[in-house]
Structure 1
């Protein structure tokens, strides 16, 4: 029976080649898009699940509140004492591990010098919490001793070639200390929220001048340590999370905080599932850029829309050509075929077409996936579809899609009365025609929503690219700054400026594109004395060249100057700070006394407001201070865009002269800002691609339906031409019914699209 159904279905497919081609092609493209989106969604949902203990691993995050109890900052990292204290306070915690990014790390091996960006300090429990595939060395003891490191296989080969790296030494800390290699591991997969390539023993930090053993035990202000907790099987992590306020009030108290103020009123800790970090965490100072669960939902809806449009095409074309198969149905009923058998026949035909489309879709997906990866920057693989969790769904897809696509045509055509069919009295009927119109309106409503959404996304991306940031980010080179350059920086800068292609060089603790996370207590004059105020006033240490390097406009007052020794005790603020401090205007702020941290001085300048952070954050009050000891992390050099090669050549030569043991490495500021919006660019690219495909499938279905309709009206067209109708008149006559449907779709979909884009 099934064999007969399939044979009959194949004959009908080959007999009506044009309609069959459009059906198969539309379903193929729709299924290919679904497979690609499923691959993307599965990749997003799989983050950090390679860890065997991922389901019971949590990250500790920290929230800060204003005096009014409003959340002002939510950090993904916490202070170093919290991890050990949490393990002491809660016996439910099985293991605790801390990770500290080491920033730009210079590695020396013999005469070779490398600059690495994925070095992390990790304590000895790191390999107990995370599933680290160690290929050489003992994972249980590799990070126990200070001045030991573990390397990825790629890093080990990079430094030592094919030689065994175990017990060999590399030099870090500007060649001050040697570290013994105690282990080699395979890198974390792409679907991990961090990708360390060098793991430095956490115990090394106890000898550090910046941290030290006491700082690691008592410093609750340095929130740079990513802290992870592993709970035993069956333990209730939510119970621990509910007691974190009690924990803070018992174990943590800040110097200078009034005794009647609870610590939990000022700051709070939360627990975050490891598997939630990539899609549900958009906190300050994340290790890497994360994805977004909203994007997963959006692309899931797009996949359903695309498949629905392809199914609607099949329904429309199948019911439209029903007259061609009316006699076949009538004869089948006359010879004894029951309605359910005819329904099975048509459903088997739609399932067969869907199976053909699925095979073609898999081939197309495999061929187009490299292009999708190139456009989006992702590393998706078609082999991820072989996972048992989605393989069953893919196998069932032809039956599901075939049933959805074929059920209405099967029910509609199997209802034909044989007597009326064989007498030629059957018509498609107003009901069938009306339902086809509803389907056309539905698919074009979806298409118009996608067109509007694509337009809005594109305009948003254009806005991001063209929005004035309040400073000039073009042709600014950024490099890490090394304190060993402090004694000779003026000579270094003078050497650079001898080249006319180099305009300015300035140092700072942070550079635009990064988050403003540093703040201290402030005091301003109220009456005759300085009164402390609790304000969200962030600061950046900057030297004389920082403002001119970025072309930041001074609205009132002046920049820091070498002519004024007292400037190390003075401040420059932005307009947002002026408003927050309650001063009338920029000019009124000049000369005001204030204290920030332990520095007492005057406001000597007011900058225009500019976007130090990304456009996702509003402009916040900012203060620049000139440190007496030269505390800087970044070097910014403004160059002439017309003489880029000359400028970079001079910078590199001068760099190697003053810092011979440090590799020359730089980035452009405009590239840094582009990276801030990689997520939006990715979403925009993928959204546009899939939306255009959905629109194409809808137009393809309308083309097939109109072509079939025209083929049934050849005689009418001939009569009209004989009677003198022009080509434009005939085209208008044939198109007006479809144009009306598209107009109705626009009236329905435009308000929906506007609302969807507003809430998104």
Structure 2
């Protein structure tokens, strides 16, 4: 019997090659899209789970209850937190700390001289200081070296495999010496595999904390700039441990909190939650979003449902052609259960073919998808990824069986319910409510399609707004040159000479030296208050060292006061002679009612000791970071002994390449032996939007796929409707109905469904778009286009499909349509 079912199924599939191909292709697209979405969701949801002890590793961030507006919570904490927790709490089995090397030096250059006298020298950015216990806590694979001792000794450095290749080629790097900043030799004691993409913190090099001094920071409660991680003993009750934190904080920070009128709070953050659920200040990397991952999961399910609905519509659309087959089978004794089994067999075969095609599509498209999203999400798929988990293959089998049964059941019961007498007489061949069910299904597709299109429009408009929004300064045609790492009076003078010589290049409009540039968080963050206030009124602000060319080079608007001049450069002391610039945000936080009121007022900021200074000017707020973030409070000053890291050069667009060549020659002449490194500010600033760009691309891709699959459903239902109304169309043509009138007749039901779907989806779009845009400090307001473009686009596609399908029938000679009456 099964052989007979398979033979009939094969004949029917071959007989209806067009609809079979659409069914298989539509289901395959839905399965493949669903796979890629859930592979991405799985990847985003499994950050840091590759660590063997991931379930017991926690980060300890710091927050300031009741004062978040002026002192935001940070992912970092005091360096003494980890050691103190290990000493005070038996639940803490181990700890480790990380800190960016930039906390201790403005920049870092590494060089290596081989035995033949050759030298390789590079500026490095991705370097951290780490405790000796780092590789005991984390499971980053070590290629060579002893993970227990590689960070124990002073001046030890552990490097990534790609870094080892860069400096040492194919030579064994263990024991080799890297020269840091020309003043510190670091011995390579280990090589680790390149950090995987699904790690919340990424680095190329680790330097031992003992390189600074033994037990560095074990008693330091003044510098909350370190990432602290603790390993809890298995079975520890996290809530009970956190309940001990208030007393712990009072023990070590109680005096300081009273002095500053400050409240502090610690909590334990699971390392596996950091990527999707953490949004603290000073995150090591840009994190993902649990909301966006959930939204993508919903889209994946919707796409699969749309594909299944298409199968139902296309299968029932063929019911007219198979009605007589069903009638004859019933006349010769076929039972309803046998007919159902026959149609379910066809459904299983089509779903099996679709699954095979989907796997082929996945295999071929995976490299392109990885490039598209900028992450390799399929590394070790069959070992550590989804493919290595039995639950994945069980889910694939379950989805296949349930999908084939669900999408095959409705057509099977519809077809098997035809009454043979009515069918063979050519009477109505569908049970009551059949068309209504298909209309409901297609209307549901329309709602999903409109919502997806609207989501894509909102994401695109917000992303475009962030990329092209006004920043408060000019970033185009600004090239950034990194200054040499080694500082001192001689280098300070050389830097001044270099800057002045650059200004003599004809195509250079202006240049400024600073410690920070737009596009990242300002490195220094210190306390500030008005001079007549005590320390209890301190709050955090960002400090940036600039010269007098900063404002004109970046074309920042001064809304009160004057720009700094050369004579404003001074030592940082308590005399009150230091002139500073502040932005509107800081003026407001200091309590001044207007920018003008702030001019010539004295304030105090900490730089080791208290520094008294006078406000010389107020800058209009500008976006130091992306438009996702609020305006940062910023204080700019020009110390006589500076720590400049960058030289920003404003170029003439016509001669940019020639100017860069001249700048490079001058750089090598002024700083022989230092690597020349530059980048354009607009490109650097836009790197902050890479995650948003990826999200935008993913939404556009899968929204297009969902719409394409939904269009296949339209193809099925329009085919079904037109077949039912073929004779009606013929009669109307005999009665002189026009082609345009007939097209309107056929399409008006679909137009109604689009209108109903638009009305239902509008409040959904409004709610979802506003909820999503709240994640951005600066965002668009959804305009009328968000609610107009999706239904108009969908209506246009619908009319194209319906009219294309209907045109052949409306142009057919009515004699042919009525010939079988």
Range class of TM-score, shorter chain? over 0.9
Correspondences of 1:438-477 after superposition (within 5 Å):
438-477=440-479
Deviation at 1:250, TM superposition (A): 1.2
- The equivalent residue for 1:197 is 204
Cα contact 2:316–2:720 (8 A) shared by 1: no
Q: CA shift at 1:471, angstroms?
A: 0.7
Cα distance in 2 between the residues matched to 1:74 and 1:260: 17
Say which SS state the counterpart of residue 73 (structure 1) adopts: coil
Q: Could you say if the C-alpha distance between residues 181 and 536 of structure 1 is closer, same or farther in structure 2, counting changes exceeding 3 Å? A: closer
Q: 1:651: how far off?
A: 2.4
2:779 maps to what in 1? none
Question: Which stretch shows the higher mean deviation, 389-398 or 488-497?
Answer: 389-398
Distance 1:87 1:385, change over 3 A: closer
Q: Map of 1:212-223 to 2, 5 A cutoff? A: 216-223=217-224
Aligned match for 1:495, one of 487, 497, 501 = 501
In structure 2, what is the equivalent of residue 147 of structure 1?
A: 155
CA–CA separation in structure 2 for the residues paired with 1:356 and 1:531: 73
| Matching residue within 365, 371, 379 for 2:376 | 379
Given the superposition, is the C-alpha separation of residues 196 and 574 from structure 1 closer, same or farther in structure 2, using an over 3 Å criterion?
A: closer
When residues 3 and 396 of structure 1 are mapped into structure 2, their CA distance, relative to the original with a 3 A threshold, is farther
Alignment of 1:743 onto 2:755 = yes
Deviation readout 1:173-221 (Å, 9 max, x if unpaired): x1112121222222222221223222211210218xxxxx66x234333
**Alignment partners' CA distance in 1, 2:265 and 2:482:** 33
Deviation track 1:119-171 (CA, whole Å, cap 9, x = no partner) reads: 22222111111113222222211111001112222222322222222222111
1:544-559 pair list within 5 angstroms: 544-559=548-563
How big is the shift at 1:719?
A: 4.0
Equivalent pair of 1:522/1:532 in contact (CA under 8 Å): no
* 1:513-528 map, 5 Å: 513-516=519-522, 518-524=524-530
Aligned to 1:587: 596
2-structure distance, mates of 1:730, 1:664 = 72
- For residues 607 and 556 of structure 1, the distance between their equivalents in structure 2, rounded to whole angstroms, comes to 7
1:665 — aligned with what? 677
C-alpha distance in 2, partners of 1:511/1:155? 26
Question: Retained in 2: the 8 A contact 1:521–1:533?
Answer: no
Give the 3 Å change call, closer, same or farther, for CA 94–582 of structure 1 in structure 2.
closer
Q: CA deviation at 1:57?
A: 0.9
Counterpart for residue 8 of structure 1: 8
Residue pair 1:561, 1:567 contacting (<8 A) in 2 also: no
Q: Secondary structure at the match of 1:629?
A: coil
**After superposition, what is the alpha-carbon deviation per residue over 1:82-116, rounded to whole angstroms, capped at 9, x for unaligned?**
11111111111111111122355311111221222
Measure how far apart 1:561 and its partner are.
0.7
What CA distance in whole angstroms lies between the structure 2 residues aligned with 1:128 and 1:152?
17
Task: Report the Cα offset of residue 412 of structure 1.
Answer: 2.2
TM-score, length basis structure 2: 0.86
User: Superposed, which structure 2 residues align to 1:615-634 within 5 Å?
Assistant: 615-634=627-646
TM-score, normalising length from structure 1?
0.92
Q: Secondary structure in 1 aligned to 2:659?
A: helix
* CA-CA distance at 1:555 after TM superposition: 1.7
Instruction: Find the aligned partners of 1:240 and 1:658 in 2 and give their Cα distance.
Output: 57
Residue deviations 1:284-306, cap 9 Å, x none? 11112222211211111111111
Contact 2:570 2:640 in 1 (8 A): no
Shift of 1:681: 1.0
Q: Is the 8 Å Cα contact of residues 47 and 192 (structure 1) preserved in structure 2?
A: yes
Partner of 1:210: none
For 1:603, what is the secondary structure of its paired residue? strand
- Unmatched segments (≥5 aa) in structure 2: 114-118, 573-577, 773-821
Mark the runs of 5 or more structure 1 residues left unpaired by the alignment: 208-212
Call closer, same or farther: CA 1:171–1:536 in 2, change over 3 Å: closer
User: What's the secondary structure of 2:213's corresponding residue?
Assistant: helix
- Following superposition, the deviation at residue 732 of structure 1 comes to 1.6
Whole-angstrom CA distance in 1 between matches of 2:101 and 2:68: 33
Using the TM superposition, give the Cα deviation of residue 660 of structure 1 relative to its aligned residue in structure 2, in angstroms.
Answer: 2.6
2-structure distance, mates of 1:311, 1:642: 56
**2:276 alignment counterpart:** 279
Cα distance in structure 1, aligned partners of 2:73 and 2:211: 28
Change (3 A) 1:756 1:109: same
Question: How far apart are residue 747 of structure 1 and its match?
Answer: 1.7
| d(CA) in 2 for partners of 1:337, 1:724 | 45
- Aligned residue number for residue 109 of structure 2: 106
Q: Provide closer, same or farther for how the CA distance between residues 71 and 240 of structure 1 changes in structure 2, counting only shifts above 3 A.
A: farther
Contact 1:544 / 1:559 at 8 angstroms: preserved in 2?
A: yes
1:326 alignment partner in structure 2: 323
Q: Do the aligned partners of 2:374 and 2:694 also contact (CA within 8 Å) in 1?
A: yes
Moved more, 510-519 or 77-86: 510-519
Count residues in correspondence. Answer: 746
Q: 1:613 to 1:69 in 2, by over 3 A?
A: closer
Displacement after TM superposition at 1:708 (Å): 4.0
Give CA-to-partner distance per residue, 1:465-511, whole Å, 9 cap, x none. Answer: 22101111112223444334323322121111111222333233332
> Could you say what the CA RMSD is over the residues aligned between the two structures, in angstroms?
2.5
Conserved 8 A contact 1:525-1:531 = no
Inter-partner Cα distance in structure 2 for 1:605 and 1:125: 48
- Judged with a 3 Å threshold, the aligned counterparts in structure 2 of structure 1 residues 241 and 658 are, in CA distance, closer, same or farther, namely farther
